[in-house]
Amino acid sequence: MLIDLHVHTFPRSKCSAINPADLVREAQRIGLDGICLTEHQVLWDRDEVERLAGDNGIRLFRGNEITTAQGDVLVFGFEADIQGVMTIQELHRQVKAAGGFSIAAHPFRGFKVFGLKQLGLTLDQACQKKILQFVDAVEIRNSRVTEKENEVAQKVAERLGLWGTAGSDAHHLQALGSWVTIFEKEFQTEEDFIEELRAGHFTFGTAR
């Protein structure tokens, strides 16, 4: 299954230009099996998601991109309405209690064109970033960061033994599917989706 784990739509994410109905049509056109709606601090209602998905074969899963003092985190299986900035420790505690799954989103965004050597930062030092102690996985492919930033994230995930996920972080339709997480098994429900995330039965690739 090809699933874009990180997508934003308007108006729930004010920074996005993607109409939800257009999103589903584009996903179908490029051959995606599913999309995760990960708005900023906004969780879609289950009934709304079912209506949006319709009967076109695209599976929609609800997520949330939550801002913490240590960075952004994608969370799944977590229903709480979080407003404002919280600590990564508190978010981790709440997500774990809810049986959810958390992913450090674009954890090295901001490195721009610099690599670890140019910044004077070793891989060991990068692995000490606090957010990485309180998540289940790391986003190692994101279309809104540089290739080097993605490579750092992948190296850190491998060193720490964390799962590595991929998502476009699309704010425009053209970016949808630029990075996807490829799951080994077929699934339909959010519960099964989270179970497959926990199992780590996936790799990454692109739908474009």
Q: Tell me the DSSP string of 4-72.
A: EEEE--TTTSTT----HHHHHHHHHHHT-SEEEE--BS----HHHHHHHHTTSS-EEEEEEEEEETTEE
Give the count of beta carbons closer than 10 Å to the beta carbon of residue 186: 10
Q: What is the pTM of this model?
A: 0.94
Instruction: Give the amino acid at 143.
Output: S
Number of domains in the chain: 1
The tens-digit pLDDT sequence of the chain (208 residues) is 999 999 999 999 999 999 999 999 999 999 999 999 999 999 999 999 999 999 889 999 999 999 999 999 999 999 998 988 999 999 999 999 999 999 999 999 875 444 555 555 688 988 999 999 999 999 999 999 999 889 999 999 999 999 999 999 999 999 999 999 999 999 999 999 999 999 999 999 999 8
CATH of residue 194's domain is 3.20.20.140
Domain span at residue 145?
2-205
Residue 98 CA, distance from chain mean position: 18
